[in-house]
Amino acid sequence: MPALAAPLPIIRPITDLRTQLNDVCTQATATQEPVVLTKNGTASYVLMDSGAYETAERRNRVYLALREAEIEERYRPEAVPAAESDAKMREIFALWGLDYQPSAS
């Protein structure tokens, strides 16, 4: 699925937290998507399954690290050897508990 073709958001009134809490939580867990809670017809809060939240946060951290590397590469005056770059990426990914697999060039 393309990144821009996200599913429609799940929207529920905030009163469902009082009257149907288990149903709201089950829906957030089952869909792994945020549930937008509205107050007087306006989005007020977002409820998310903790696993989905952690996955989204990990994806954001990886994206930001890659974006930072792109910016650094653009403005770095000297070239960095591939071995040094791979070692640095392994170190960053290890901090996040991820396994770094350099792409074959």
15 and 34 together in one domain: yes
23 and 40 together in one domain: yes
pLDDT at 4: 61
89 and 75 together in one domain: yes
pLDDT bucket at 1, cuts 50 / 70 / 90: very low
Tell me the pLDDT tens digit for each residue of 10-23: 999 999 999 999 99
pLDDT at 74: 83
Q: Which DSSP helix (H) or strand (E) runs through 16?
A: helix 16-19
Nearest Cα neighbor of 61 from 94, 96, 37 is 96
CB atoms within 10 A of CB 47: 19
Tell me the pLDDT tens digit for each residue of 29-50: 999 999 999 999 999 999 999 9
> pTM of the full predicted structure?
0.59
The number of domains in the chain is: 2
19 and 40 together in one domain: yes
